Structure 1
Amino acid sequence: MKNYYINLVLIVILITSFSYIRAESLISFSGYVRTVNDTLPIVEKEIFINLNEEIQIVTNTDQNGYYFYLFDLDSINAISAVVGVLDCTGSLFVEEFNPLESSNIADFYICNGEINCQAFFDYFTDAENYKQIYFINLSLGNYNSLLWDFGDGTFSNEDTPTKVFNEDGIYPVSLYIYDTVGECESSFTQTIFVFENDTTNCIAEFSY
């Protein structure tokens, strides 16, 4: 009987330890999106979550203007994140988390209204070939045509193209979106640094 109780205690300890370790491997992103003037909830608003400048996640607010996303760290060694939302003018509001906490909260107070269309994209570099860039179209609104200008004389009409640059350099990459009746037209440009030892994502900090 004594061995039975000892084994039972050991099982409980193992289950508790596993649950704690499992909880430590999960991180959450949450917050409220409300109107800037009267703090009313903004429903079904798209929230962009960028992990390590590699993983792109899109989630939406609920009927209370609240969003929540749970991410399993077992699938990626995440060390930083950016949470963003576009307001009614197409301006991007972001909150950065570096280092990440188990619970990361970002509330936004923005103007509300339907965006006719707003071009927006993000990108990440291939882990083995720094010249290969993956582009992700995150544009909003009603549009039926798009054009990527990679800044090196090449173009693409793909929604999420993969681009291999032939030479090292700095490239202004632009995404243009529009519809065929002229009710929507928007563009967005980012400067892409294509170098083998790119340090543009490093941030210098000190304290005293």
Structure 2
Amino acid sequence: MIQVGDKVTFLNEVGSGVVTEILNDQYALVENEDGFDEKHLIAELVLEKSEKEYRLDGLEYVESVKEKIDAERKYERLEEFEKKTKGLVSYVEDEMEVDLHIEELIDSHHGMSNAEILNVQMANFKRQLNIAIRRRVKKLVIIHGVGEGVLRTEIRTELLSNYPDYEFHDASYRKYGYGATEILIH
């Protein structure tokens, strides 16, 4: 309910003012920002709340701010991840290709042990395999490189242990040489 002294904004026009008089059930006199009195329909006046009324109390306010910050950070991390993995994963209809060369996964692997590098590569393999399963991709090609065959062996051990229903074999020699494994997901 609008009363004399209330600060209001106009529903159908730009500006605001203060109610100086209630003329009747339908109209009120409002002093606009320029100091002039104008007659307005009460139904077209919107009561302005003070900044204090818009604020949330203590804990609610802190929680809402935290939620917004967390959402922004999550979005930033997602954007950063997508930038880093842009060339790493490619999709063609029901096929997915993942490159596990360490240079493709992280900015710098300087100072990392072979075991640490292998852990990063296997973590990425498991994550991409789960993504492929969720997306119902039929064929997943994992590019692991030739090297000493440690990563290839680890990938195949993981598949045999935890995904015994999935078939796998060397990917196309013509396209990948000996450095890739093709997984058929049912």
Give your verdict on TM over 0.5: no
More helix by share: 2
More strand by share: 1
TM-score by length of 1: 0.22
Whose RCO is larger (CA < 8 A, sep 6+)? 1
Larger Rg: 2
TM-score by length of 2: 0.24
